[in-house]
Chains A and B, each alone.
Chain A
């Protein structure tokens, strides 16, 4: 497949996810309008990102928001009578709000307080406000912020701490909220005809989804919940615990690498200001604009600015999922094409041609130019970071561990990385990877390395190590396990070696071929296929798990090329028949396996393939409980491209990287820039 072709996305009808955005926007406006008059909006900083995806400041102003502040400690000076707080139901937020109200009472300035809780009311918050003695002064209502589209085919709840909440704290609020959000999705587009899931929490989520539907059957039930959707063919829930390996690895797609090295939050990446702001000179000169500062040291000094990574940017859409090693080549090709465009235009003779050219210059050419400039800039930022010794050492250790190649050597390498004061996230990721892939680290070695770790980074990280070893996560274990460990820990070990074979996780193709042909989802990690996506393939593209469809196609086209030609090389997607054919493999992976046909309330249909029109494309919703990585999205998009008649809608609790997980577990707060005046 050539790069040109990869850029071409599904032309078949997909679900209109922007509907979700519109709904969120409308409920926000309604919530704001319920408070009469001009108001001061006080915003939970963690919501600024998600809200930025929903609305813009102008819209808020239009609905009476006079001023905006971050929700933070200290006095709040407001010159409007109405104060609206918008936050998630967290204890510390409530305390700040109570503090504000008490301060105002002391200064005897009178205000009307409204608290909008995201995503729903919380008795905990009411109780806390009651304890603080301010419950009577504040009106509490909910702002139900659910799935937000962060790309055409990706919707996210944008929860930052979902993973920690579920697997460390055991707080299952996320599950409940996810179930609610999935119900909303079904209300919009119809019932999922089939529910599949892997992992204990995935099973619990599906359970919640079913009980909710069986109860919510009353007069207000929309018709869409009464019959299986013709839009959807199934919902696949993948519990993050099932595939811990994927986020631990360094993502190697363009977007993934950007997330790893620069950090993407709510589809925004922070870039040096000079890169984001278009140069003032005319577009024609921009082609020869001087290259941007590339060294990583200068990056820190410069002012940073947020840049929205949107799928409206066609160049980004083409490159986001490419393995980073191919991005340079692609950008180069685009640059050359643009250059050609300019040249041919300069040769235009008639005024009509000239006018046409100017039009194009203003429109498409210009925007393409801008995006080319920015992405070249980003690549130039990334390249030096991928050349560092630490980055490459870490990659090397990852690849060796995945191949189970001289594990004890890898562990000594990790130890050396600790000595070299490598960042804590990388070290923890490698340690966990070593433990999972080899079924635990030898007790003596592990204790030794833990001691090294604590001495190097501080003894206060002991709770981090303990929670990694706790039964709910079990990602950093000694081997053999001490006799006192609960039996479920033993059971929760991933049989990595056998999976590697049965799910074809590691591709041994020669690396040269890899550069040119993306012939398997493993391109996202340069030769390793994420288990999570393999599991989805077990349901939605069974052929892709067993063998390489790209290779097979070569053979078939050679024998009877005419047959496949009209399909443009794509195979008609097979109907969803559950995990069929892979039950044995799934049984070896820890966690419950779910496969259920969902019927509208009261109707009983036999379990089996559901007949549906052949010509209509259906959507498979893949929900990552606990977050997913950009590589998984890239891999799923690749799967979608192989088949005709099936699209994927990727839903997740949030975007994660291994580092963000580690930071969450360790309680490391990454500083976010913020001023007192909030801007979205």
Chain B
């Protein structure tokens, strides 16, 4: 039987508030002396990263080996070594943890690396300015960091994917601050990171907009520490006074003199928060918990200590223990507080009596009947707060016992708590070493926990937990596959090519089978393949990529693998034209023009869409390339069309003629295009002619950009009749079209005499009806009348009517004896006078 929970409690504020010190792990001699190291701890039960503090002396003969180079060691909370790597770059100024348990290490050149727990890292830089001025310090928070450069400028980095650093407002410092801290963006009202700088006697707050002096006078402050929720600040000044104020600097909440602590020796090491309402001040082997009303609790440790603020407590490392100090949660307090009469306490008592077969149980239950539901909830919640499975089980049993007396009770909370505790107990096991509390687990979510497990390569546990919690196994599987690929890396030069291929197949099959078996349908094979490619296993990457369905994921990797043709093929198959462009543009940049064209041409029908897209693009952007492309592919017709298109853009006549001639040449090279070649020949002749005509007209008349018909018309309009005739014969313009053109042109310039002469020059091939109609249409009815007589007799009456020549209508009808026509036209006539006349005429007809 475990000790009663209250044994770890200590009272504060006259016994109204209790704090408990829970020993999480004992780790005799697993970790080196904390005092010799610079340490960064990760929240939520995460690991510690340690680096030898070069400023400290090492006693000769101590077990710790002396390293010339910087070395960073990472230990789990239970003291298990997780990672060790050495640092070859210039001096490390700071390291810290991200939300995803990645270690960020920043050196004085402004280069930072983000390590995962396997030692793989991404490297980024703070930019040129930082590397010139040097970085002297930095603060890392979960989703970014702020660095202080040698020129005392603050640079902010958001996120961990290499975002460009933003410069905050210049704090106008002359010396580096005595101490400083940041409040992360999500805890500020402004939603921007806020930097707190201890300058002289006061604190300056700096963000991306302003630099404000908060006018405190008790400085200088050696420690600045914001609370986990960002609402309060703990400040320690050089005189040893601990000041707690709200982070808007409006309220002072407490003051405490650290010099009053009797057993304290030496300087204060850390000022950390225990949850949001108490502060832990640590000395070499002492930790003092300062409550809101300056009450204190003292915890002594063997050896040096290190404290990590948690959202609901503080983790304190001693030389051989790891403790969690936290305020006793309300639900626990209400059950276990001596003499508690809360319903939950009575329920727990009732259950104990019941298990001892005592009749008192029934009596107790009766007494809390109205509040039984609350009591059950209280027991469930308290179970979540307990560390020992023994007490968890007891509290849950009590809850279950209480449930039996309730008619309607939703057991969801009960079931969830049971599941959660099972998971929490599993990860708290010292080999795993993640001492996560229930509150932290709820805050960070189960998926976060799973990703933490996978990053420790604990795939089986992660998979079991995700199955247990009915989460999708994809994340785990993906990580597992990447790890698998890393592990099975064939030894270089060992077994030769064939066995190498075998192992590729083997690994691929293994991965695909596992995915299928576990239903990880949504795993992106492309990402895993990318991983394989990165470690130099191209064969495996290709094989894995074949299983990827989404082309948009396949293509980028294929390109970086230089599988150009396959990449292009996949892009074309996907139907996503943008993807095709991506590939084309990439290839155009990286291949020689010749091999680029060859790739596309050799693709034949399959790559035809890509070829067409290239043409669309090149037509707009890169005509020279298009010309080369057509030429290299012997596409005469396209070459010719391109030349023709260019000709139409040219302003200079002779340049245009030569462009048309080259089009003609291209057409003539294709035996099926003799017609087009002939046409182009005509075109160049026309252009030459137009050049002559313009010269003849002394540039007063524009001929360019006109068709043959247009040229003829312009000639006629400008009185160059001979020329028009010449063009007609030169270009074999048919009579009919010529007559229409001339008719229109002469009407346009109102040369009615010329028109008359023209109409009589020979028998009109188009008849005379068009003359009448066109003249009428253009409003020359009077001139039109003359031509009606030369039209077909049956149509004359109608045509006269169109010319508004009603007398002639009557006459025509009479001559032809067409009474019906007359009646029909009479209805259309414009005024009654004419109507009457026509009517008379009609009556006179038989």
Contacts and interface: CB of A to CB of B under 8 A. Distances in A.
B328 to A, nearest CB: 40
A179 interface: yes
A451 interface: yes
A454 interface: yes
B737 A418 contact: yes
B577 A452 contact: no
A170 B611 CA distance: 9
Given A455-B733, A456-B737, A171 B620 contact: no
Nearest to A173: B577
Interface residues of B, number: 56
Contacts, number: 125
B3 interface: no
A570 B83 CA distance: 79
A127 interface: yes
Nearest to A297: B779
Given A204-B575, A484-B672, A169 B736 contact: no
Interface in B640-692: 641, 644-645, 647-648, 660, 672, 675-676, 679-680, 682-683, 686
B473 to A, nearest CB: 13
B613 interface: yes
B240 to A, nearest CB: 47
Nearest to B576: A176
A460 to B, nearest CB: 5
Interface stretch (A97-105, A116-124, A238-246, A318-326): A116-124
Contacts of B737: 418-419, 452, 455-456
B773 interface: yes
A459 B708 CA distance: 9
A175 interface: yes
Interface stretch (A212-220, A394-402, A586-594): A212-220
Contacts of B620: 90-92
B744 interface: yes
Interface stretch (B73-81, B125-133, B145-153, B578-586): B578-586
B215 interface: no
Interface in A442-464: 447, 450-452, 454-460, 462-463
Interface in B602-647: 608-609, 612-613, 615-617, 620-621, 637, 641, 644-645, 647
A128 interface: yes
B575 A179 contact: yes
Interface in B704-726: 705-710
A241 to B, nearest CB: 16
Contact of B521 (A169, A217, A484): A217
A421 B740 contact: yes
Contact of A124 (B578, B660, B731): B578
Contacts of A466: 637, 641, 676
Interface in A75-97: 90-92
A676 interface: no
A420 B581 CA distance: 46
A416 interface: yes
A458 B472 CA distance: 67
A124 B578 CA distance: 7
A170 B614 CA distance: 10
A92 B731 CA distance: 39
B622 to A, nearest CB: 10
Contacts of B581: 122-124, 127
B522 interface: yes
A151 B617 CA distance: 35
Given A123-B581, A169-B615, A419 B682 contact: no
Contacts of B740: 419-421
Interface string A208-238: 1001001101110000000000000000000
Given A170-B609, A459-B686, A421 B709 contact: yes
Contacts of B598: none
Interface centre among A120, A421, A447 (most CB of B within 10 A): A421
Interface in A376-394: 389
A215 B550 contact: yes
Contacts of B562: none
Contacts of A176: 575-578
A72 interface: no
A418 B609 CA distance: 36
Interface centre among A176, A204, A457 (most CB of B within 10 A): A176
Nearest to B737: A419
A458 B576 contact: no
B370 interface: no
B575 A460 contact: no
B644 A462 contact: yes
B782 interface: no
A172 interface: yes
Nearest to B727: A455
A482 interface: yes
Given A170-B609, A215-B550, A463-B645, A127 B585 contact: yes
Given A173-B577, A421-B740, A482-B672, A459 B641 contact: no
B582 A123 contact: yes
Contacts of A170: 608-609, 612-613, 615-616
A455 B712 CA distance: 10
Contacts of A462: 641, 644, 676, 679-680
A416 B706 CA distance: 20
Contacts of B680: 459, 462
B549 interface: yes
Nearest to A458: B707
B734 interface: yes
Contacts of B615: 169-170
A458 B710 CA distance: 8
Contacts of A482: 672
Contact of B707 (A207, A218, A455): A455
Given A218-B522, A420-B740, A457 B707 contact: yes
A300 to B, nearest CB: 15
Interface in B567-607: 574-579, 581-582, 585
Contacts of A454: 679, 682, 707
A172 B637 contact: no
Nearest to A136: B164
Interface centre among A90, A420, A452 (most CB of B within 10 A): A420
A450 B637 CA distance: 17
Interface in A112-145: 120-124, 127-128
Interface in B544-565: 549-550
A172 B710 CA distance: 38
A132 to B, nearest CB: 11
Nearest to B711: A455
Nearest to A214: B549
B250 to A, nearest CB: 29
A295 B766 CA distance: 28
A175 B354 CA distance: 73
B714 to A, nearest CB: 13
A610 B608 CA distance: 39
Interface in B222-281: none
B675 A450 contact: yes
Contacts of A208: 575
Nearest to B675: A447
21 contacts: A90-B620, A91-B617, A92-B620, A122-B578, A124-B578, A127-B581, A128-B621, A170-B615, A176-B576, A207-B575, A219-B522, A419-B741, A421-B709, A452-B734, A457-B707, A458-B707, A459-B680, A460-B648, A462-B679, A463-B641, A466-B641
Closest 3 CB pairs of A and B: A170-B612, A91-B620, A419-B737
Interface of A: 90-92, 120-124, 127-128, 169-173, 175-176, 179, 204, 207-208, 211, 214-215, 217-219, 389, 415-416, 418-421, 447, 450-452, 454-460, 462-463, 466, 482, 484
Interface of B: 472, 521-522, 549-550, 574-579, 581-582, 585, 608-609, 612-613, 615-617, 620-621, 637, 641, 644-645, 647-648, 660, 672, 675-676, 679-680, 682-683, 686, 705-710, 731, 733-734, 736-737, 739-741, 744, 766, 770, 773
